[in-house]
Structure 1
Amino acid sequence: MQKLTLLCLFPLFIFAGNLPELVSLAEQNKHVEASRYSLEAAKEKEYATKSGYMPSLSLGANQTYNQEESILYPERSRTGSATLSFTIYDGGKREALFDQQQALVKSATFSLSSVQNDVSLNVIYYYYNYISTLASRESTLQKMEQLEAERYRLDKYLSVGSATADELQKIISTIEQTKVDLLTLDNTLNNISNTLEYLTGKEVNVESGSTIAFQEGKVEDATRFDILALEQSAQSAKAEANVAKAPHLPTIKIEDTYSRFKYDYANPAWETDADRQNTVQLSLEWKIFDFGSTSATYQAAQKTYLSKNSDLAYEKDKAKASFKSAQNSYKTALAKIEAAHAKLTASEMTYELVKKKFQQGIVNNVTYLDALSDKFNAKSQLQTALNEVEYQKAVLLYEMGKEIKGTIQ
């Protein structure tokens, strides 16, 4: 009974999902999770940087024993203190660090969106590839049924001398090749399923019927998430250069220290009633010479910024070219649908005509098999063209910087 229960539960581990469900699963994978952690780390670093410039409170205590007593050095002393300190000015380093951390948080945010969009696009590609391959398999199975029926018919005709052995053998040969084609398609389906499994983290059973919502009148050249992330990364490098040059300017700090103390003198003449003190200290520190270390550090940071800015300009140009290519690919995919419809109509008409002539002995089996293959290939090509349009919609949305997940229906 226990074995039967386990067998009944096992199919539940195979996740049956349409495209929105597959994308939602994929957005929980380890690759996306790593980007989420990077964003959280950036936010924590920003908070730590800002908190580091808030007034700080420090507590201290000590007990001292002096071997040789004097009025300045009692035999024993105990001191407790509380110090409140604040950096008034540090050469603009504070503002530059705030800008840097803010840019890093924005960059991590856009990077996460970019990774999610990349994952969505990959899942969509394999989803429609699977649906197209499945349609090819179904067409091939229908072709196999037609071939088996024709073999049965020719086998009967051969027995009464109305067909030749070579005609039958040609059909049998085509059947065997079709079996190989089915095995190849099954292998492709398994490979796609394995890819979807590592993308989603689950064993999946793909369900057809999902589409991509897209308004053709709203095609616009926007900025992709990865480009936005690069822009913020460049801004972070620029702020880093400002941080590097801050030591050229003075740093001003203020500290307020409140102390309580107790002095124990062996000599009563040195005893004092004072037991507390409050000290306010305003300090200025200015590095005026360091053998060019600060200047070199600034120049290195500035060149890093220029490098990232050049990479950004290159990626922007590349993204514009990709956007134009996506537009052309989408238009081409739409044209393929019209061509596939026309081809399917023509091949079905041709097949019906050739089939009648073949059964009447007017044309040979080669002509018949060609017409049969053309018919089922046209059906498969039409389904592939329809799926390609859906995928090209997703590519175009990706290049437009839109969130793909929200457009899936």
Structure 2
Amino acid sequence: MTITKQKIGFQHVGSFLRPTDLKQARVDFEAGKIDQAALTAVEDKDIRELVSKEKAAGLDYVTDGEFRRAYWHLDFFWGFNGIEHNHLGGGYNFHKTESRDDSAIVSGKISFNPNHPFLKHFAFLKSLTDEIGGVLPKQTIPAPGQLYAELVRGENEAKTKEFYPNEADLIADIQKAYHDAIIALYNEGARTIQLDDCSWGFFLDKDYVARSTDQNKYDSLDTPQVLLDLNNGAIEDLPDDLTINTHVCRGNFRSDYIFSGGYDTVADYLFAQENVDTYFLEYDSDRAGGFEPLAKVSGDKRVVLGLVTTKSPELEDRQVIIDRIKEASQYLPLDRLWLSTQCGFASTEEGNELTDEQQWAKLKLVKSIIDEIW
């Protein structure tokens, strides 16, 4: 039987710069000046306006901009049973700065929470796309391997081992919690789900691991097999009409990055064996290496080249982007390639260092090149 997956279409990786009124509403909420209902009302208004802008920009798939989140990953983790919000006393060390110290820690056996807030978040987004028509909703969530990375980070590891002395049980529970979450999102109408994944970066950048052994335990792993198994196990036996994509990132915080290194060291795992439909790959700088590893992308899986950066306001040279797409097509046929920005514009609520107008100019450039080449 031939399964028809969703077309790639014109889509943004995920997050958008937070509007000023939303940032203020979050400050007021944390200070106790407004309640959750008032904050949600601001979020709803701004998401409605964003979706209209996304449609006007020609996007085929739209997101809620991750407007209800502080972080691209942690808010999702905190929604599981057995996971709590904690502070590690230090954040991730980016190239020039350090992130806030929020984290996620095990407080019991991990399982899917039927009242996970992301279900309502997606339902609202889908209600908007159903209302305006002509666009489809996309749900972004962090990859299973990303949760594992957080739970073995620094002081978190001891608490994880307290509840999970056998790591195989931890992996199994993460897989099941994710599988149940994905099915629940599917039941709300999600047909395109994107797994955002920075965890491969630990294997791309050995220098980072060498200087960060106090923050993570990836240096003790012989291969990336644990990530592959985690992610593939979570996405087994899903409905045939559900498209699972992944976005591989090297860190995106206030226009800064964590990791450097090409995909060569993980291509035999990530590209050859991860059972996703499409890869959204960061390729906006020399830190991402060359296109040669794309030859390892197996089957009929597709690659969206993140050649337009969200980390700086300068608009890329159109011909340079076109030339790089042609270069990539030496390793993967053009009909299996596509174009996007390298990441979101605000992986955390702080956002990258560009303006609202500049983020839309970036997307306009992406759309015009897609229209010309494909």
What TM-score bracket applies, with the shorter chain setting the length? Answer: under 0.3
Larger fraction in helix: 1
TM-score (norm 1): 0.20
Larger radius of gyration, structure 1 or 2?
A: 1
Higher relative contact order, structure no. (Cα contacts within 8 Å, ≥ 6 residues apart):
1
